[in-house]
Amino acid sequence: MNPLSLYEKLWQSHVVREESDGTALLYIDRHLVHEVTSPQAFEGLRLAHRDLWRVGSILATADHNTPTTNQKVIADPVSRLQVDTLDDNCRRYGITEYPMGDHRQGIVHVIGPEQGATLPGMTVVCGDSHTSTHGAFAALAMGIGTSEVEHVMATQTLLSRKAKIMQVNVEGVLRPGVTAKDVALAIIGHIGTAGGTGHAIEFAGSVIRGLSMEGRMTLCNMAIEAGARAGMVAVDDVTLRYLEGRPYAPKGAQWQAAVAYWRTLHSDEGARFDQKVTLDAGTFEPLVTWGTSPEMVVSITGRVPDPALESDVTRREGMERALRYMDLQPNMAISDIAIDKVFIGSCTNSRLEDLRAAAAVLKGRKVASSLKLALVVPGSGLVKAAAEAEGLDKIFMAAGFEWRNPGCSMCLGMNDDRLSPGERCASTSNRNFEGRQGAGGRTHLVSPQMAAAAAVAGHFVDVRTFLD
Amino acid sequence: MKQFTPLNGLVVPIDRSNVDTDAIIPKQFLKSILRTGFGPNLFDAWRYLDEGQPGQDNARRPINPDFVLNQQRYQGAQVLLARENFGCGSSREHAPWALDDYGIRAVIAPSFADIFYNNCFKSGLLPIVLPADVVDQLFHAVAAHPGYRLVVDLAAQTVTTPEGVAHGFAVDEFRKYCLLNGLDEIGLTLRHADEIRAYEARRAQSEPWIFGVSA
Ligand code: SF4
Please provide the DSSP assignment of A312-364 as one string.
-HHHHHHHHHHHHHHT--TT-BGGG-B-SEEEE-TTTS-SHHHHHHHHHHHTT
**CA distances (Å), origin A100, targets A70, A84, A125, A315:** 10, 10, 22, 43
Instruction: Report the run of H or E that residue B81 belongs to, with start and end.
Output: strand B79-82
| pLDDT tens digits along B33-71 | 998 999 999 999 999 999 999 988 999 999 999 999 999
For B35, the closest of A40, A249, A434 (CB atoms) is A40
**What is the sign, positive or negative, of the torsion defined by CA atoms of A315, A294, B126, B168?**
positive
pLDDT of residue A468: 65
In the reported structure, the alpha carbon of residue A445 is separated from the centroid of ligand 1 by a whole-number distance in angstroms of: 14
Give the confidence band of B214 by pLDDT, cuts at 50, 70, 90: very low
Instruction: Report the run of H or E that residue B195 belongs to, with start and end.
Output: helix B193-206
Neighbours of A117 (CB within 10 A): 26
Give the pLDDT mean for B78-102: 96
Give the pLDDT mean for B136-154: 97
Q: Hey, are the CB atoms on B22 and A17 less than 8 Å from each other?
A: no
In the reported structure, the alpha carbon of residue A224 is separated from the centroid of ligand 1 by a whole-number distance in angstroms of: 12
Q: Hey, are the CB atoms on A193 and B88 less than 8 Å from each other?
A: yes
Q: Hey, are the CB atoms on B88 and A65 less than 8 Å from each other?
A: no
For ligand 1, what atom is nearest to the CA of residue A412? Answer: 7
The answer to whether the CB of A36 is under 6 A from ligand 1 is no
pLDDT of residue B215: 41
Instruction: Report the run of H or E that residue A385 belongs to, with start and end.
Output: helix A381-389
The answer to whether the CB of A411 is under 6 A from ligand 1 is yes
Contact criterion met (CB below 8 Å) for A282 and A172: yes
Three-state SS at A51: coil
What mean pLDDT, rounded, does chain A reach? 96
| pLDDT tens digits along A440-457 | 999 999 999 999 999 999
At residue A261, φ and ψ (nearest 5 deg) are -70, -45
Strands B158-160 and B149-153 turn out to be antiparallel
CA distance linking residue A283 with residue B166, whole number of Å: 49
The answer to whether the CB of A129 is under 6 A from ligand 1 is no
**CA distances (Å), origin B73, targets A222, A276, B11, B106, B211:** 40, 46, 10, 18, 57
For B111, the closest of A115, A194, A439 (CB atoms) is A194
| pLDDT tens digits along A383-403 | 999 999 999 999 999 999 999
pTM: 0.95
* Helix ranges restricted to H, B18-171: 21-24, 44-47, 94-102, 114-122, 132-144
Neighbours of A365 (CB within 10 A): 17
DSSP code string of A136-165: GGS-EEEE--HHHHHHHHHHSEEEE-PPEE
In the reported structure, the alpha carbon of residue B195 is separated from the centroid of ligand 1 by a whole-number distance in angstroms of: 35
Give the pLDDT mean for A66-76: 83
Q: What is the ipTM of this complex?
A: 0.93
In the reported structure, the alpha carbon of residue A30 is separated from the centroid of ligand 1 by a whole-number distance in angstroms of: 19
Which chain A residues are closer than 8 Å to B113 by Cβ?
Answer: 194, 197, 227
Lowest-confidence pick of A67-81, A207-221, A258-272, B57-71:
A67-81
